[in-house]
């Protein structure tokens, strides 16, 4: 992780070079073509306006980064940068309009620079003390407008230059203020080290530009120093904010992908738990009813034996379901045996189900076949009343098992989504889980579960599974009719 963080120091220089080109080209033109000091001063002010606009744009990008990755203290830093960038832009623009005022106007601009430095320092101190920040863009704009008004008022009232000692004192204070701002920003641990480094240099270069343009020394060197300092500041801050926003968005995308994956895992686990509970509830209800019948002395011996075998078989399946044991390997499944166990449970609950043994066998997992059939039989009883029927037919290499009821049937508008997870009719007492699970279980063995077209009352669900290839050695016998 540290290698990645250190590598970021070099990342984003493409953006920095672009920003440097946008502000550095005017500097190169100035160096090569401007013959007079007055022209150089004007060019420096133009460059200052461009740099100020870039600094404001970069600060807006930093504000977007703050919105993407909200950090309570970053708001004050963003607000301070809005104030500093606004002063660069406004003072350069007003300097162009007041070029005729000369040195006096420039030296009094330092007074406004001092106020701006103090305001930015106060904002960064609030950040260092952990004070929650308001919306930085709104607050920065308000302060920027106020300082612009102060700048206009200063230009309207100043006539003669301030005393040299006062000017020097203001410049020293401005330089010290920017160093103090840079020092506090460097301690902002919530910012990456590489970003803090570029921001610190940006603040120092803005301070250098304020001192150089003070008018205390009026020559081409100070004009070029101002232009170069602001060019460097704009390039560094623009490249830093673009990289920070890009990384924040990438991090957000990564977190969103991780969150989506976690939600899918949770949903899958939740669905699995509900499906398991759905089958457990049905099996326990049948086992409880069968157990009560075992205590009835009027039950015939043959029925008593069927009940005992059914309870043992279903409780074994229930144990495998609860312990989440892997399903048995697909093999020949005797449908007569499977249905006899299930129907014993359902009949113990007072349900009437007509069915005739056929001796058919299918190729699948015994537990999966039992679970799917139990779901269909349970649904037929819930939605179709106590009477239903099961028909098993063998066609070529496929066995069809139809579970039909005499209920109201499935409305036409609901047929296309009846197998969707969680979907159930308005009057349904089910949970919308069983049919989806049963279809998935059958599909996993190369089979299918469909809702048959019917013009009569009720509904009919049809399971189609590959028929088992049996021989004398592996023929599956019905436990009720031993060979």
Q: What is the pLDDT of residues 429-475, one digit of tens each?
A: 556 678 888 898 899 889 999 998 865 678 889 999 999 875 544 44
Phi-psi region of 407 (alpha: psi -120 to 50; beta: other; left: phi over 0): beta
In this predicted model, which residue has the larger pLDDT, 279 or 131? 131
Contact 477/464 with Cβ under 8 angstroms?
Answer: no
The pLDDT, as a whole number, for residue 144 is: 73
257-279 average pLDDT score = 69
In this predicted model, which residue has the larger pLDDT, 426 or 137? 137
The pLDDT, as a whole number, for residue 4 is: 40
Question: Is 412's pLDDT higher than 90?
Answer: no
| In the block, residue with structure tokens 């509900």 | 274
389-415 average pLDDT score = 86
Q: To the nearest whole number, what is the mean pLDDT of the chain?
A: 77
Residue 137 structure tokens: 């863009």
What domains sit in the chain, N to C, each tagged with a CATH number? 2-260 (no CATH), 295-466 (3.30.565.10)
146-169 average pLDDT score = 71
CA nearest neighbour of 80 among 34, 38, 143, 3: 143
Taking the CA atoms of the chain, what radius of gyration do you get in angstroms? 41
The pLDDT, as a whole number, for residue 449 is: 92
Q: Which residues of 343-375 are buried (b: 16+ CB within 10 A; e: fewer)?
A: bbbbbbbebebebeeeebbbbbbbbbbbbbbbb
For residues 363 and 277, what is the distance between their CA atoms, to the nearest angstrom?
26
Residue 217 structure tokens: 């020394």
In this predicted model, which residue has the larger pLDDT, 71 or 382? 382
The torsion angle over the Cα atoms of residues 242, 244, 249 and 253, rounded to 10 degrees, is 140
The pLDDT, as a whole number, for residue 129 is: 85
Cα separation of the two ends of the chain? 70
Cα of 281 vs its chain's centroid, Å: 36
Contact 82/144 with Cβ under 8 angstroms?
Answer: yes
Lowest-confidence region among 169-173, 176-180, 289-293, 328-332: 289-293
What share of the chain has pLDDT > 70, as a percent? Answer: 71
Pairing of strands 398-405, 352-354: unpaired
For residues 149 and 147, what is the distance between their CA atoms, to the nearest angstrom?
5
What share of the chain has pLDDT > 90, as a percent? Answer: 13
Q: Starting at the earlier edge strand, list the strands of the sheet with 352-354.
A: 352-354, 387-395, 398-405, 460-466, 448-451
Q: At a CB cut-off of 8 Å and minimum separation 6, what does 167 contact?
A: 107, 110, 161, 214, 215, 216
């Amino acid at each position: 992780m540290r290698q990645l963080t250190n590598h970021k120091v070099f990342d984003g220089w493409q953006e920095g070079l672009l920003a440097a080109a946008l502000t550095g080209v005017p500097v190169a033109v100035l160096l090569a073509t401007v013959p007079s000091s007055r022209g150089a001063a004007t060019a420096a002010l133009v460059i200052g306006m461009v740099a100020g606009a870039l600094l404001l744009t970069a600060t807006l990008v930093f504000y977007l980064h703050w919105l993407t990755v909200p950090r309570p203290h970053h708001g004050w830093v963003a607000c301070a940068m809005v104030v500093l960038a606004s002063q660069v832009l406004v003072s350069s623009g007003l300097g162009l309009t007041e070029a005729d005022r000369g040195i006096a106007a420039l030296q009094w601009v330092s007074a406004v620079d001092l106020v701006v430095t103090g305001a930015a320092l106060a904002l960064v101190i609030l950040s260092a003390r952990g004070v929650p920040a308001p919306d930085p863009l709104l607050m920065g704009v308000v302060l920027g407008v106020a300082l612009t008004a102060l700048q206009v008022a200063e230009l309207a009232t100043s006539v003669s230059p301030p005393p040299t000692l006062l000017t020097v004192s203001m410049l020293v204070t401005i330089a010290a203020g920017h160093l103090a701002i840079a020092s506090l920003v460097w301690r902002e641990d919530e910012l990456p080290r590489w970003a803090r480094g570029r921001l610190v240099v940006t603040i120092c270069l803005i301070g250098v530009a304020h001192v150089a343009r003070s008018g205390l020394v009026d020559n081409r060197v100070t004009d070029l120093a101002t232009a170069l300092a602001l060019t460097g500041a704009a390039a560094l801050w623009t490249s830093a904010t673009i990289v920070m926003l890009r990384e924040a968005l990438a991090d957000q995308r990564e977190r969103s992908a991780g969150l989506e994956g976690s939600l899918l895992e949770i949903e899958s686990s939740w669905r699995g738990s509900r499906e398991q509970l759905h089958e457990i509830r049905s099996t326990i209800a049948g086992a409880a009813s069968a157990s009560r019948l075992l205590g009835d002395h009027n039950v015939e011996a043959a029925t008593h034996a069927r009940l005992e075998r059914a309870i043992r078989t279903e409780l074994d399946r229930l144990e495998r379901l609860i312990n989440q044991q892997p399903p048995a390997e697909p093999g020949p499944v005797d449908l007569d045996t499977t249905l006899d166990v299930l129907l014993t449970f359902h009949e113990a609950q007072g349900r009437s189900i007509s069915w005739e043994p056929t001796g058919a066998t299918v190729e699948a997992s015994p537990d999966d076949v039992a679970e799917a059939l139990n779901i269909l039989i349970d649904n037929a009883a819930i939605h179709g009343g106590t009477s239903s029927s099961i028909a098993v037919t063998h066609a070529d290499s496929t066995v069809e098992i139809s579970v039909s009821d005499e209920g109201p049937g499935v409305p036409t508008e609901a047929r296309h989504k009846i197998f969707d997870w969680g979907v159930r009719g308005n009057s349904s007492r089910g949970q919308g889980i069983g049919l989806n699970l049963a279809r998935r279980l059958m599909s996993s063995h190369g089979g299918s579960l469909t809702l048959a077209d019917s013009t009569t009352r009720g509904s009919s669900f049809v399971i189609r599974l590959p028929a088992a290839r049996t021989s004398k050695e592996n023929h599956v016998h019905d436990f009720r009719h031993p060979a």
